[in-house]
Structure formats: C-alpha cells, structure tokens
Amino acid sequence: MPWDIFISHASEDKELVARPLADLFRGSGVTVWLDENELSLGDSLRTKIDQGLAQSRFGVVILSQAFFAKDWPQRELEGLAALESSERKVILPVWHGVDQSFIAGYSPLLASRLAVSTDKGLGAVANEVLEVVIPMRAEEIGVPLDDFFPEDRTLFDALTGIFNRPAFRGRFLWQTDPVAFQRAIKLTLKSINTGVVEDNSGIARTMLSPITQIRDGKLHASMQQVATQLKTIDNLIEILKNTTDSNQRGKTISELDTKRDIVIGTLNKIWRCFGLHTLPIPTAITESTDVWELFPGPTTPGT
C-alpha cells in the first residue's frame, strides 16, 4: 500500500499532535497520509481522503473534544471502521485531552479499544504505534520480526554503509583480485561481529553496534545467517585462490555470487522493513564494477 498510516484528526489538533506525530513516523521510515501533505488547490477533498483511507494499512485516529465536535473526522473514522475485519485491525486510537469515560459517551465500542494517550508524550505514542505498524509491514515484506525496537533500526541504518562497498556491488569477475576481495569480506565480517569498522589498510574508521546487540530475536537469527553466508564466501575465495582448474573455478565463482545475492537479498528485506535504502542484487548489476575494496571514507559508514 502507498501509505502505512492515515492520520485522522480535527484541525485544532494538527499543530500540537498530528503534524509532530507524522514527523516522528516518517523519521522511522514509515509512510504517512496527512491532509496538508496530500491535498493541493482544486483537489476533491472527498476523493483524496477516500484514496488515502483505502490505501493505508492503519488509521491513527486522534480522539479529542475537537474530534467529536466535528462531522468530517468522524466520517473518516467510519471509513476506517469499514475497512476492519476479524483478520485485519486498522484503527489505532490516540487519546488527546480525553479519557475512556469521555469517549464512552460517544462510542462504547471505541472506548473499549486499547489506546495510547498523549499524556505519555508524543515520543511514547509514536513508539507504541510503530510497534504495531512495522511488524505488520515486515510480515508483508517477508521479514520475520517479533517487535519494533528503534535501536535495531539505528543498527541496520549503519549497516547500509558497511555493505555499500564495491565487493557487494557487482559480479565476481575472473580478473578480480581474490586477495583484495577476501579482505573486503573479512572486514565486513569483523564489522558486523565486533562493531569495529576498518578500511582495507586496517585503520579503524568508526564504531557501530555489533549484531549481537540486535534486540529482536528473529532479526538476530537472520543476521547470524548473513554472517554464516559471509564465512562461506570467505571459504570459497580461499578455494578459488588455490584452484587452477577452469571448470572448478567457474563453479566456485558462481556459488560465491549466489551467496552474495542471498546476503544482499536478506538485508534488502530488512532495510525495506525499516524504510531504509536498499542495494541492487550483485549479479543483477550489468555494468563494469571494480570490486576491489575501497572504503568510502574516514567518517561514519554511508556518508
């Protein structure tokens, strides 16, 4: 779907609640439908809102006194309710300046829903919403994910720089220097296992959280599989360095490329889950690629 979240709110709550929440969601890689960003002069209000409602995974509904005093926000709520089923939860209520008894005066069913209050602070509200939205999006992408932890997203954001290096951006060609290529794989393994990021001369450039600190258990298991694939690639390069038979070399190179495709494919799913940049699959790159390790720079990976 084009949007992860549709924010339904009264205009009185835009500046203090709706807009800051939208910014927090987008900062975590979540796509947001907010009227001021989607409506242009001359647009049909009803048509655009209907599109937003129909094409959003969830509706964050900011329930306040102003919300219940207006007709249009309640129509949006009715539209979101129509999208729900026993298998699909859509409405995520946010209470702003109201409590359960106030809401029960308008809708006992709505009051019975688990909600989060802005009394906790907008950061806490955003995190509780993201704990629902991101695992659902991850499930659609095919990523095993138990929960959402902001620390995990930060860790994988850093990893985009670690893997955005020549050794993962093209086929392993017959003229490629296997020594330099192997060094790149070893450096990558060291980075994800220890958090120490070195360039190809062994100089430590920066630090990041190692994969042992991934909080989500399923994500941790996925990254352990990535580490295993990298170790296999390392072993394949060792075989390649000691093989002269052209047929065997061809088979080894093909297997090496397959393993790298698996690594980047696995990471791309996780990066998409968190709304981060992805990389092309190595064997899908057709232009000439220098796969010698040339670390991008002396600062944070990815800069």
Show which residues are catalytic. Answer: 76
Q: How many residues does the chain have?
A: 303
User: What 8-state DSSP symbol labels residue 79?
Assistant: H
Strand partners, 207: 196
Element spanning 117, H or E? strand 116-117
Q: With 0-12 CB in 10 A as exposed, 13-18 as middle and 19+ as buried, what is 109? A: exposed
Name residue 3's amino acid: W
Gap between the Cα atoms of 53 and 68, Å rounded: 19
The Cα 85–Cα 76 span in angstroms is 17
CB of 12 within 8 A of CB of 66?
yes
Q: Which residues pair with 116 in a beta bridge?
A: 94
CB 210 within 8 A of CB 193: yes
Q: Of all residues in the chain, what percent are helix, strand and coil, respectively (each to 5)?
A: 55, 10, 35
The DSSP code for 28 is: T
